[in-house]
Amino acid sequence: MTYQTKLPFPMPQINAPPPNAGYRERLAEALRQNFDFHGHNTAYASHNFHSFPAKFPPQLPQLFIEWLTSPGDVVLDPMSGSGTTILEASLAGRFGIGVDIDPLALRLGKTKISIVDFELAAQSGTRVWQHAEHHLRHNAITITSEINNYFDEETKKFIDYWFLPATQRELFALAMEIAREPDQTIRNFLELAFSAIIITKSGGVSLARDLAHTRPHRVTDKNPRSALEQFQKRLKKNLRGLTQFPPSTGYANLLASNAQITGLRNNIAELIVTSPPYAANAIDYMRAHKFSLVWFGYPIKTLAQIRRKYIGGEATNGITFLPMPPHANTVITNIAQLDTKKAKVLHRYYTEMTLSLKEMYRLLKPGKAALVVVGTSTMRGIDTETHTCLGEIAQTVGFDLIDIAIRHLDRDKRMMPARRNTTISSQIEERMYQEYIIGLYKTPH
């Protein structure tokens, strides 16, 4: 992949690995580095095209990529979210492979790793809002009836609840103009600018608050901004991102699949850097992402079906629960004493993470590392101890646990899961602002 650099590229500085250290030693030393990255530039290239809860700073995968791989190696992220790992892999001259099941994550990741032509994107973006504006000015009544015909009843109900009629017309006019763009990469680029005006911390142009935290609530005193104006602004911002790419010889690809059974071949990856969803369904991606996906033609019913496949979802009927190792079992049992339903949700999460870790083990080359970044959650005031339990589970599928590093989140920047429990202890409260990097190693046999 080759990108033009139009501005000096603000490549972040990371420490160099110790010279002459063996692989395992380098992994252990990498886990002793400082992962806070507060004050670092995390918004270069396409990293800031769209908000994404629990996305990691680019410097995190970058450090492991630099320390543990060579140019041309495969770096895998089986739950790639906004695509941070695979973009960093390709910028470092590696081959990034991402996997995700979320339709918005797939659009976002694909666009972030694509070569988007600045001039074409700028021209097409201008055409979109100019045509949309013209259409709105002259055919507002037609747009209203087009909206009524376009959406099924359930989806229309959702839209009516969360978007004012004037906003619906603006968004529909924009979405229809974007759909006319024949070049898929440019179309995806415009879709992201569109989606980014809906999914924001404040809920953007919808009537929702807290959308980026994936716990939207409707507010009636909100006066949403003009979608047309917001789209223009966002487009400009994302176009600026296109000018901040370094030249790169790497490549990346993204697969729509399930992390538990990816369909990729054995031993494909020299490194895995990934972060699964939080336990306790603390971040419900689809709950927020449907706010923009409906405008790309997804019916609410289809999105509800996709949502069931997310790791750690709340539905527990029909799940085949796997037996858990001692510590995970104790945590689940403790929660079951207070709330059996919640304990089952956690058991589902650890079951699906067992299968995902097993799959990661299969996909990783022997003698290589997997880094799994997780936050912890609470259920009924009890810490799910996600990092300890996943470290334990990873060992049951064959990994060596090298270490678990802590990183302190930037409280001003990080989009944390919304707090649902105000009675938790201050120790657990503190842990909510930490993330854990579980360092795993696949021993050659």
Ligand X SMILES: C[S@@+](CC[C@H](N)C(=O)[O-])C[C@H]1O[C@@H](n2cnc3c(N)ncnc32)[C@H](O)[C@@H]1O
Q: By CB under 6 A, name the binding residues for ligand X.
A: 52, 54-56, 79, 81-82, 84, 99-102, 105, 258-260, 275-277, 285, 309-311
Q: Coil, helix or strand for 364?
A: strand
Name the phi and psi angles at 223, rounded to 5.
-110, 90
- d(C-alpha 266, C-alpha 362), whole Å: 5
Other Cβ atoms closer than 10 A to 375: 26
Nearer to ligand X, 156 or 309 (CB): 309
Closest residue to ligand X in the complex (CB)? 81
- Residue 38 CB, nearest approach to ligand X (Å): 17
Query: Considering the complex, what minimum distance in angstroms separates the CB of residue 405 from ligand X?
Result: 16
Q: Which of 277, 420, 286 is nearest to 350 (CA)?
A: 277
Which CB sits closer to ligand X, 116 or 288? 288
CB nearer to ligand X: pick between 51 and 168: 51
Please enumerate in sequence order all residues whose Cβ is within 8 A of that of 214, keeping only pairs 6 or more positions apart, or say none: 53, 283, 284, 285, 287, 288, 417, 418
The residue (of 171 and 279) whose beta carbon lies closer to ligand X is 279
Q: Which residues have CB under 8 Å from 401's CB, separation 6+?
A: 391, 392, 394, 395, 438, 439, 440
Which tokens belong to 332?
């689940």
Give whichever of 51 and 232 is closer to ligand X, judged by the CB atom: 51
To ligand X, the closest distance from the beta carbon of 444 in angstroms equals 27
Helices (H) and strands (E) in the chain, counts: 16, 11
Give CA torsion, residues 358, 361, 363, 369, to 10 deg. Answer: 140
Return d(Cα 373, Cα 85) in angstroms, integer: 12
Which residue lies nearer to ligand X by CB, 52 or 245? Answer: 52
Least Å distance, CB 257 to ligand X, is 7
What's the closest the beta carbon of residue 372 comes to ligand X, in angstroms? 10
Nearer to ligand X, 36 or 183 (CB): 36
Nearest approach, Cβ of 306 to ligand X (angstroms)?
A: 9
Comparison of 55 and 110: residue with beta carbon closer to ligand X: 55
Classify each residue of 172-207 as buried b or exposed e, where b means 16 or more C-beta atoms within 10 Å of its C-beta: bbbbbbbeebeeebbbbbbbbbbbbbbbbeebbbbb
- State the minimum distance, in angstroms, from the CB of residue 227 to ligand X: 25
Shortest CB 49 distance to ligand X, Å: 11
